[in-house]
Amino acid sequence: MTGPGSVAGESGQHEARSAPAGARFAVGDRVRVKDDWPERRGPCHIRTPHYLRGRDGRVEAVLGAFPNPEDLAFARPAPVRTLYHVLFEQPPIWQEGEPGDTALVEIFEHWLEPATPERKAA
Amino acid sequence: MSAPARAASVARLEKLLAALMAKGLVTEAELAEMQARTDRASPEIGARMVARAWLDPAWRARLVASGSECAEAMGVSMAGAPPLGVLEDRPGLHHLVVCTLCSCYPRAVLGYPPSWYKSFEYRSRAIRDPRGVLAEWGTTLPPGTKIRVVDSTADYRWMVLPMRPEGTEGWSEDQLAALVTRDALVGVALPVLPMAAAAE
């Protein structure tokens, strides 16, 4: 069941709706990717890589707002969500790699929460 | 080159297309136009965008701000295509693009993705062991360079704007564009002078 004006077709899917006026996070904000695993609860379509769940990163850019692919994939009405470019330190993810190397990944707002302060001063 | 399509896959594709057309979701003409557009696209478009950025600081700024706008300015129709983002390499920072989830690729300006880009091996290793992948590619970064792997997970498509190689002072846009390979636009290789490559 497709709601009116939701999923028009290929042309509608990728057009950024310039609505990040309501963006929750700003460039430079420390964020945490939710440690959530919807794939364990049933069929789903998610764009948040498994290796980033629960990881802290920093907002590099606010890319715009796009219809939520988690709904698009099932032809459901897809509300737009703000999309961020989030930068992660790479070595902590895999417990290997070279310090200073990073991963830059598109993450939708509903997958992000504010990162809690560092647990202890270094 | 990819292996020939299996008969079962072709049959399934034909059934899918027939169903889509029966439902009026897509027409033969739309499919032909989409295929023609992808056929027309090639890494030469991306290479020219890069060469121009090496020569013209205003174009570079515009390219980094909006790859889509610059693609349109070069006559590439971006209507219905995902927005194009451009990742600017600089001294000490090298970008490498991968799509770990599937095979998202800036087709509008690079054409069809190579089969290795879609392979499980590249998709799983580029994000975890980018230095190992580059080493196997024979790509040597300047000492001290950090790698930024860009995982193309959502609505953007990403292209690398590599650094201009030394020894190309005074080169024309055509000469420079010829140095920029598809692999350099993905970030697995660097633009190199033909002589430097031969000397290695």
Residues B129, B194 within the same domain: yes
Below-70 pLDDT ranges, chain B: 1-3, 195-200
Q: Residue A41 above 70 pLDDT?
A: yes
Residues B127, B48 within the same domain: yes
Residues B32, B58 within the same domain: no
Inside any domain, residue B46: yes
Q: Does A50 touch chain B (CB under 8 A)?
A: no
Residues B96, B155 within the same domain: yes
Cα distances (angstroms) measured from residue B64 to each of A82, B43, B60: 20, 18, 6
Asked if the Cβ–Cβ distance from B147 to A98 is below 8 Å, we say: yes
- The catalytic residue among B9, B102, B115, B124 is B102
Inside any domain, residue B2: no
Q: In a 10 Å sphere around its CB, with 0-12 CB exposed, 13-18 middle and 19+ buried, how is residue B8 labelled? A: exposed
In angstroms, rounded to a whole number, what is the distance separating the alpha carbons of residues B167 and B169?
6
Q: In a 10 Å sphere around its CB, with 0-12 CB exposed, 13-18 middle and 19+ buried, how is residue A109 labelled? A: buried
Return the structure tokens found at A30. Answer: 């420390």
ipTM of the complex model: 0.88
Residues B129, B175 within the same domain: yes
Q: Residue A47 above 60 pLDDT?
A: yes
Asked if the Cβ–Cβ distance from A102 to B149 is below 8 Å, we say: yes
**Exposed e or buried b for every residue in A11-49, given b needs 16+ CB within 10 A?**
eebbbbeeebeebbbeeebebbbbeeeeeeeeeeebbbb
All residues at 6 or more sequence positions from B155 whose CB lies less than 8 Å from its CB, including other chains: A13, A14, A16, A63, A64, A66, A69, A83, A106, B82, B83
Q: Does A112 touch chain B (CB under 8 A)?
A: no
Q: Does A97 touch chain B (CB under 8 A)?
A: yes
Partner residue facing A104 (CB), from B80, B101, B150: B150
Inside any domain, residue B134: yes
The domains located in chain A, with CATH, are 10-114 (2.30.30.50)
Inside any domain, residue B1: no
Inside any domain, residue B77: yes
Q: What are A69-87's pLDDT values in tens digits?
A: 999 999 999 999 999 999 9
Pick among A83, A90, A109, A112 to test the B interface (most B CBs inside 10 A): A90
Q: Residue B67: beta bridge partners?
A: none
Q: Which residues of B touch A104 (CB under 8 A)?
A: 87, 95, 148-151
Residues B30, B51 within the same domain: no
Number of domains in chain B: 2
How confident is the model at residue A121, as a pLDDT?
A: 47
Question: How close, in Å, is residue B171 to chain A by CA atoms?
Answer: 33
In angstroms, rounded to a whole number, what is the distance separating the alpha carbons of residues B79 and B72?
9
Residue type at B159 in one-letter notation: M
Pick among A39, A45, A105 to test the B interface (most B CBs inside 10 A): A105
Q: What are B135-153's pLDDT values in tens digits?
A: 999 999 999 999 999 999 9
Asked if the Cβ–Cβ distance from A105 to B131 is below 8 Å, we say: no
B99 belongs to the catalytic site: yes
Residues B22, B50 within the same domain: no
Residues B30, B47 within the same domain: no
Inside any domain, residue B53: yes
Return the structure tokens found at B169. Answer: 């002072």
Asked if the Cβ–Cβ distance from A104 to B85 is below 8 Å, we say: no
Question: How close, in Å, is residue B180 to chain A by CA atoms?
Answer: 23
How confident is the model at residue B79, as a pLDDT?
A: 86
All residues at 6 or more sequence positions from B128 whose CB lies less than 8 Å from its CB, including other chains: A51, A93, A94, A96, A97
Pick among B155, B156, B157, B158 to test the A interface (most A CBs inside 10 A): B155
Q: Residue A11 above 80 pLDDT?
A: no
In angstroms, rounded to a whole number, what is the distance separating the alpha carbons of residues B28 and B8?
22
Inside any domain, residue B157: yes
Q: Residue A101 above 80 pLDDT?
A: yes
Q: Which residues of B touch A97 (CB under 8 A)?
A: 128-131
Residue B108's domain comprises 41-199
For residues A92 and A119, the model is more confident at A92
How confident is the model at residue B2, as a pLDDT?
A: 56
Residues B12, B108 within the same domain: no
Residues B46, B21 within the same domain: no
Residues B28, B45 within the same domain: no
CATH label of the domain that carries residue B134: 3.90.330.10
Residues B29, B45 within the same domain: no
Inside any domain, residue B20: yes
